[in-house]
Amino acid sequence: MASKEEIEAAIARLATNGEDPTVRKVWDELGKSGSFSQINPVLSAWKRAKAAKSAPGSPVPDVLTDTAIALVAKCWTLAERKATDDAQDARRGADHRIEELEQEVSELEGSLEEAEFMVEKEKHENAGLVQTI
């Protein structure tokens, strides 16, 4: 099943390559995924939008608009990938810091136990000295 965005991207690729998108061509471009009933409404909307853009007085040629749409889609994909990579890097960094802090806590707990032991030892020695006096 192809998403609306995937269908739109396939249409944009076909248009950018100078082809007139049809349901069959879009389906082929999607690697034969999605259904014709899924592709047709998206393609119809694209054709209506293209016709509106092509109306007299439209200063931007269709091929340029289609290319810009394809470029924006590519930029968006790259931005999403970068954001995902950055989030994974941040997560790895946070996990590493957590490990460091857990190690530090463990070391401090060991030092605390040692200090408590020494305090008890000193109390016992002091009690012995008090009895001697």
CA gap 117, 86 in Å, rounded: 46
CA gap 49, 62 in Å, rounded: 11
Confidence of residue 53 (pLDDT cuts 50, 70, 90): confident
Model-wide pTM > 0.85: no
CA gap 35, 53 in Å, rounded: 27
- Domains of the chain, by residue range, sit at 4-132
What are the pLDDT digits (tens) for 102-128?
A: 999 999 999 999 999 999 999 999 988
CA gap 73, 23 in Å, rounded: 20
Phi, psi (rounded to 5 degrees) for 60: -105, 125
**CB < 8 Å & 24+ apart, contacts of 130-133:** none
